[in-house]
Structure 1
Amino acid sequence: MNELRGAGVALITPFNMDGTVDYGSLGNLIDYQIKEGMDYLVVLGTTGETATLTADERKQVWEYTAERVSGRLPLIAGIGGNNTQEIVKQVDQFNHHGYCAILSVSPYYNKPTQEGIYQHYKAISAVSKLPIILYNVPGRTGSNILPSTAIRLAKDCSNIIGIKEASGNFAQFSEIIRDKPNEFLLISGDDPATLPMMALGAVGVISVVGNAYPKNVATLVKLCADGNYVTARKIHGTLLKITDLCFVESNPCGVKYVLKKQGIIESDAVRLPLVPVGSQTREAIEKEMEIIPN
């Protein structure tokens, strides 16, 4: 899956002020990502507020994105949850036209054992027509995919081809790199960890801040892939503060405000229980935007 090496972005889902999906802004965002050099797009991951979209809305967003991209970039669909039977059904019925892989988050809230996590993904693997990327984000799910479980899945399920890692645990990343099959992909799921993870052997990032700064993130990842960490560190440093601000009042509230200020999307509307960032965060974002090189 060489097409999934490099810089990917977890796309936001723009909304109109009335709460409906803003397809005009979504089209602008997609074109912006392609123009600025992103390598691939993830559609309806956590950053896409997938938990608050209806099944019909998810279908429409997936289909609209595939049509808009029209083969210009690889696409990954986010399909995950904590009801294994329902996720198996969604994956089995997914119209995969235009998509090359599925990103599936580890079951949240239930707090399954490692065996439960293994069996969950094995059930998804059995029906998927596309390769699967595991997604480990313990801060959101309440459970951790241990390296031994990820490696077991990689070895037992030929269509499980990588893991998006957002645990923040570098000992865990190192263990995955040491024990994984050669072609299994370790992907950063946390923007500030991208540079050090790539130094360990990760192949890139699925980025949030890349929604707003795709060229910066794509350049950072390419420099790391080329071993030019001296120059990469400069870009890494310029993105740290804006990334922090994008998460200070929950993702994707901050990055939506940045995109609105950039004129890429019309509104920074989010769906409850999320709310737009407050005045203090807006002021801090605007100040930081003034000093980030484009």
Structure 2
Amino acid sequence: MSIFKGSGVAIVTPMRDNGEVDYEGFAKLLEFQIAEGTDAIIVCGTTGESSTLTLEEHAEVIRYCVKTVAGRIPVVAGTGSNCTETAIHLSKEAQESGADGLLLVSPYYNKATQNGLYAHFKAVADSVKLPIILYNVPSRTGCNIAPETILRLCTDVENIVGVKEASGNIGQIAHLAAIGAGMEEGHSKVDIYSGNDDQIVPIMSLGGIGVISVLGNVAPAQTHEICQKYLDGDAKGSCRMQLEAMELCNALFSEVNPIPVKKALSLMGMIGGTLRRPLTEMEPANVQRLEKAMRGYGLL
């Protein structure tokens, strides 16, 4: 059974000016997401600056998120690492905290082989009972999870259920959908989520069941509706909303994520825009582009 369908927000981790996690601001964001109809919270992912959180902070942010959400929608915890033992440790911590599922990014920098990826993900999955979504984002990790490897993991390992596909390679995603289809009548063996906000509808048209979204941080109701319309059979309406969001989607990736989305939330008065180094403040020209896109989308 799928962990969720629809729009899962890859939520930011607010920081205070002194660099500490802003838990008060985080609670505000979580309540905003739930009130606006987001279908799931994905905490401590790329957008949550997980790579600069200490292990203690990482575990505490997940605990706080689970406690604050209090079962109202699923919480999926990002617990991936390029060290298998670290990923196992974080995954066990998330399970103990009450997370509903895990998101495991492919090991970065190591550039494992496909057999190495299989062994890594299986070892983490075998250490917990939670359902797991793999995260394929080769532009950040330098390592692509092949469709055959994803299908093999979803077939062999009971609690690996899907993938967040952020390769941007529609042909590869179509191949995954094709080889994963037909395992059960009317149900793919692999739950596919778009990992790119500009490809929600294209990926759902290939059998995807939703998105893990950056856009959802600032436009949760609209991102939910893009997915829900498609799930309800209104492909044209979903496509129209996807196209209306394109200028904002592009502006949110005019610099490396999560720099623009944190600036956007700051412009909306939701949180401060503080980032942890090595991320730095957004360039003025890109701030102007972002503001223009937000005004055009009705957010300012």
The verdict on a shared fold, with TM-score over 0.5 as the criterion, is: yes
Structure 2 distance, partners of 1:98, 1:112, is 30
Q: Are 2:56 and 1:51 aligned? A: no
C-alpha distance in structure 2 between counterparts of 1:117 and 1:159, whole Å: 16
CA distance in 2, matches of 1:92, 1:70: 19
Return 19-28 or 174-183, whichever deviates more: 174-183
Runs of at least 5 residues in structure 1 that lack an aligned partner in the other structure:
none
Aligned to 1:271: 276
Query: Of the candidates 204, 207, 232, which is equivalent to residue 198 of structure 1?
Result: 204
1:291 is the counterpart of 2:280:
no
How far residue 247 of structure 1 moved from its aligned partner, in angstroms, is 1.4
1:241 to 243, 247, 253: 247
Instruction: Tell me how far 1:126 sits from its aligned partner.
Output: 1.2
Q: What's the offset of the Cα at 1:89?
A: 2.8
Q: Distance in 2 between matches of 1:259 and 1:183?
A: 37
Secondary structure at the aligned position of 2:158 is classed as coil
Q: Does 1:260 align with 2:266?
A: yes
* Corresponding letter in the other structure for 1:158: E
For 2:93 and 2:197, the matched residues in 1 are separated by 32
Which amino acid is the alignment partner of residue 274 of structure 2? A
Deviation at 1:64, TM superposition (A): 1.1
- Aligned twin of 1:8: 8
Q: Deviations over 1:73-95 (max 9, x none)?
A: 11000001111122223323444
User: Residues 147-186 of structure 1: matches in 2 within 5 Å?
Assistant: 147-180=147-180, 181=183, 182-186=188-192
Q: 167-176 or 134-143, which moves further after superposition?
A: 167-176
Deviation at 1:129, TM superposition (A): 2.1
- 1:27-38 correspondence runs (5 A): 27-38=27-38
Contact in 2 for aligned 1:39/1:74 (Cα 8 Å): yes
When the two chains are superposed, the root-mean-square deviation of aligned CA atoms in Å is: 1.3
Letter in 1 for 2:248: I
The residue aligned with 2:68 is 68
- 2:237 alignment partner in structure 1: 231
Moved over 6 A (4+): none
**CA drift at 1:155:** 0.9
Partner of 2:106: 106
Secondary structure in 2 matching 1:46: coil
Does the Cα contact within 8 Å between 1:71 and 1:98 map onto a contact in 2?
no
TM-score by length of 2: 0.94
Q: Is the 8 A contact 1:47 1:251 kept in 2?
A: yes
CA distance in 1, matches of 2:97, 2:145: 29
Aligned to 2:174, the other structure's residue is in SS state helix
**How many correspondences in the alignment?**
293
User: What are the superposed Cα offsets for residues 138-168 of structure 1, whole Å, 9 maximum, x if unpaired?
Assistant: 0001010000000111111011010110111
Q: Percent identity?
A: 40
Residue aligning to 1:127: 127
